[in-house]
Each structure stands twice: as structure tokens, then as C-alpha cells.
Structure 1
Amino acid sequence: MILKSVAIDDSPYALDIIKLYAEKIPELKLVQTFDDAIAGAEFLKEHPVDILFLDINMPDISGLQLVRALKVKPLVIFTTAYKDYAFEGFELEALDYLLKPIAFERFAKAVQKAVDLYARRQPVKPEDDHYFFVYSEYQAIKINAAEIEYIESLKNYLKIHLVDNSTVLTVMSLKKIVEKLPEGKFLRIHRSYVVPLAKVKSVLNRKVMLTTGKVFPVGDSYFQQVQDWKKS
């Protein structure tokens, strides 16, 4: 993850420091710096960024006023020589407040806050959207791996039980369907059962319980691989 940033400060020396520090952090790209607050604000209207490093006490417009005027607000990290503005800065939901002279360690810590926050905001893709097709009743049925509750073998057939309580019956062996499943996400625990590891609630006395409350036996031939999974 690389976060785009802009720095606005009326001190060229402060901008040089931010530029130097930003070059040392791989997750951060400083796309532009401004020693004029109004020019910086105009740039942000057309070029949204992830992080804004912003001085508070500037001649034309204060950093606080600038943030209030932005329609699309990035994460704001205030950089200032004055402690007096800290309360107002946090009222504007600033991510951090760095006092000058800024140490690199303190700068890096503030950037890491931003990286962590953006990472938490990223949507989680269920089972990496892994899917495959099986034939049932003369048609190809799409099966999403994240929607499988468990798979059951019935002699020459497989019964795929889905989380919405529906089932799909297909002619296939358990060995063959395991090859279609995402690696490391499912486990064969018996000659008749394959279960998704994410839905296993407990393993006790050679029995596996799913989060739904369903319980399955662990076959002798599969006991060791269940034990190995528990240790992983």
C-alpha cells in the first residue's frame, strides 16, 4: 500500500525535512509541496490525496481554516511549532499533531497510523472469490468456495451443503473436488466429509464441530492430518 501525500508549510526548510523523511518511507509518496496555503488548497481540489501534512500558523490562511474549507478531506497530520493549537487540531479529527522540530521516528509513527487506518478500511474478499463449476441436473452450477458449509460423499455422488441451507448434488469423487478447492482452506477429515477450516469451531475426541453446531467424525486415515492442522 502506497499513500499519496501533500505537504503545505510556509517554511521551505520544514518542507525540505518532510520531503527528506518521506523518501525514507516506502509506503509514502509525496506528490507535491507548497509554501503557499492558497495554492495548496487549489491543488487539493483537483488532486485528492490520502495524507495532508499541514502547518497551522501560515500568513494567508491558517491550516485550521484550510481543513475546514476542504470538501474532500484527507487524513490530516498537523506540523507546527505551537502547542496551543493541539485541541483545535483534534477537534477537526486530525490523525496526528507533530511539533517542530520533528524527529524522523515521530514522523514515521504518524505515517504508520495512516497506513494502519487505510489497511483496516480495505474490504475483505471472501476466500479470494474462489469459485468453480460442477454439473448437476444437466447444467453447470457455479459454486463459491466461501459459501460451502461442508461436502459429503454419498457413494458415487457428492452433496455440497451451502451456508444458505441449499444443497447441490453432483457426480464426482471427494478427491476430485478437493483439487478444485482453494489450497489450505479446506480439510478432508473422513472418507465421507470435507470441511472448510474457517468454519471449524472445535476438535475434540476425534470429532469436528462446525460453527453451525454440526458434528462430524474424524476417520482413522485422516486423524494425523487433523492433528497437524491443529498445530499449525
Structure 2
Amino acid sequence: MPVKCMIIDDEPLAIQVIAQHLEKIEDLELKGSFQKPLDAFEMLKTQQIDLIFLDIQMPLLSGIDLIKSLPDPPAVIFTTAHRDYALESYELNIVDYLLKPISFTRFFRAVNKYRKIARIPDPKVLPKETEPVNDHIYVNANKKYVKVLFKEITHVESIKDYIRIHTTGTSIITKDKISEFERKLPDQFLRVHRSYIVNTTKISAFTAKDIEIGRTEVPIGDSYKKAILSILKRP
């Protein structure tokens, strides 16, 4: 049985990119794409849709408001250019959250996340076109670019116009805003405070107030607390 999909995004280019990604996966079927949420709402009332790729920021009706207005909404993968909405998406039990521009590798991972939730087996034939998964980043430190493996980063700390990248062996200071650096990190990293990002694979323990990474305690910001604890308590 094909997975019946819908795309809702007010940007034509974004719709085009997602539609191209959909074509590469044999059991995904695009039933409709819409730039206006209200037009999509009409179709949702008459047709069964399994999975929606939904932009958050749209005129008249946001993606979040659209989902809240549906009595029995399909599974949803949010797509947006603004990472600030990630926390609210977790509170709504959204399948996943894709930050634009959306690579096929990240898209494919989100679809597989949906499969696990819906208990749908993987397609027999995997897509031929895949992108290499980056396992590192280069940061400018002391007038040279230093290679940092994502798996070695424990947490990131904001220091005014700089950030300190803590790794298992050392720490590196580079000029960058923590919000900008956050966009460069893969999914296992989580913003837990206005000044901190943690690698969730490195967490050894947590409370309602802080996260322990080895002997280091990272505070959880009040505005992040509800969503962060919900994420960390997931099995």
C-alpha cells in the first residue's frame, strides 16, 4: 500500500524540492500540493492522507494552527526555515522537523521515522541517489580551520559573540553565534538553553533543572524545560 502524501507550503520552490524527493522513494504517492492551507483543508476533509509535509510559517493560517484545527490529523513532518519552532513541534507529537534547505538524506531519514511509528516496512528498493552523510565540521580557530567530529562534541556553550565547542578531549573557541552553529549540527544535538546545546548521545543523567554529561552539568532553560524533558523521557 502506498503512503499517501500531501505537501503544504507557500513557497513553490520548496514544494518542488519535496516533490522531487518524494519521487525517489517508490512507495510514497503525492496526492496533492498546496500553497494555501485553506485549499489543503478542503481536500483533507474528503480524502485520506497518511503523511503531510507541512510548512509552519504561512499567511492567514500557520501550519501549527492547521494541525490544531483538524480533529484527526494525519502524520505530519514540519518543514521550515526557522529552527525556533522545533520545540513546539515536539509538543504536538510531530513525526519530525526538517530545516530548509532540505537534503534528500535528511528527508529520507524523516520518512523512515514515520515508517517506524506507522509500522510500515522499508521499501524493497532503496533510492539510488543518496547524499554522503557528513560526520564532521570545520571551525575557524586560531587562524586555521580545525576538523571536529560530531560524535566527539559533548556540548556547545555560548560566550557573547563566540562559542566554545566542548569535545571528549579538548575545547575549541570560535567566533559564531550559537543559533547559527545550531543549524550546522545533525539531529542528535539539542538546544536546551539560550546558551547551551548538548549532544544527546553524551547525556549520562538529567533532572528537571540540568543535564549531566560526565562531570559537567548543563542547565536547562525555563522556556525549554517542558519540551526538553518530554524529548529526553521518550523511550
Q: State TM-score, norm by structure 2.
A: 0.50
SS where residue 60 of structure 2 aligns? Answer: coil
Query: Which residue pairs with 1:94 in the alignment?
Result: 94
Tell me by how many angstroms 1:117 deviates: 2.1
1:212-231 matches, cutoff 5 A: none
Over 3 Å counting, the alpha-carbon distance change for 1:47 and 1:39 in structure 2 is: same
Check whether the contact 1:4–1:28 (CA below 8 A) recurs between aligned residues: yes
SS where residue 76 of structure 2 aligns? Answer: strand
Matched, 1:16 2:16: yes
For residues 71 and 109 of structure 1, the distance between their equivalents in structure 2, rounded to whole angstroms, comes to 27
For residues 26 and 120 of structure 1, the distance between their equivalents in structure 2, rounded to whole angstroms, comes to 13
Tell me by how many angstroms 1:91 deviates: 0.9
CA RMSD, 1 decimal? 1.4
Tell me by how many angstroms 1:120 deviates: 6.3
For residues 48 and 28 of structure 2, the distance between their equivalents in structure 1, rounded to whole angstroms, comes to 15
Deviations 1:102-156 (Å, cap 9, x if unpaired)?
Answer: 00010011111112222269xxxxxxxxxxxxxxxxxxxxxxxxxxxxxxxxxxx
Q: Report the residue type matching 2:108 in the other structure.
A: A
Deviations 1:33-56 (Å, cap 9, x if unpaired)?
Answer: 000111111211111211010000
Check whether the contact 1:45–1:70 (CA below 8 A) recurs between aligned residues: no
Check whether the contact 1:3–1:115 (CA below 8 A) recurs between aligned residues: no
For residues 26 and 115 of structure 1, the distance between their equivalents in structure 2, rounded to whole angstroms, comes to 14
Higher helix share: 1
Structure 1, unaligned stretches of length 5 or more? 122-232
Query: Which residue pairs with 1:83 in the alignment?
Result: 83
For residues 6 and 110 of structure 1, the distance between their equivalents in structure 2, rounded to whole angstroms, comes to 15
For residues 16 and 37 of structure 1, the distance between their equivalents in structure 2, rounded to whole angstroms, comes to 17
For residues 84 and 34 of structure 1, the distance between their equivalents in structure 2, rounded to whole angstroms, comes to 24
For residues 87 and 42 of structure 2, the distance between their equivalents in structure 1, rounded to whole angstroms, comes to 26
SS where residue 18 of structure 1 aligns? Answer: helix
Q: Give the fraction of aligned pairs with identical amino acids, expressed as a percent.
A: 45
For residues 116 and 88 of structure 1, the distance between their equivalents in structure 2, rounded to whole angstroms, comes to 22
Structure 2, unaligned stretches of length 5 or more? 122-235
1:93-172 matches, cutoff 5 A: 93-119=93-119
For residues 112 and 27 of structure 1, the distance between their equivalents in structure 2, rounded to whole angstroms, comes to 12
Q: State TM-score, norm by structure 1.
A: 0.50
| Aligned residue-pair number | 121
Tell me by how many angstroms 1:86 deviates: 0.8
For residues 16 and 86 of structure 1, the distance between their equivalents in structure 2, rounded to whole angstroms, comes to 23
Query: Which residue pairs with 1:230 in the alignment?
Result: none
Tell me by how many angstroms 1:89 deviates: 1.0
SS where residue 53 of structure 2 aligns? Answer: strand
Tell me by how many angstroms 1:96 deviates: 0.1
Q: Report the residue type matching 1:4 in the other structure.
A: K
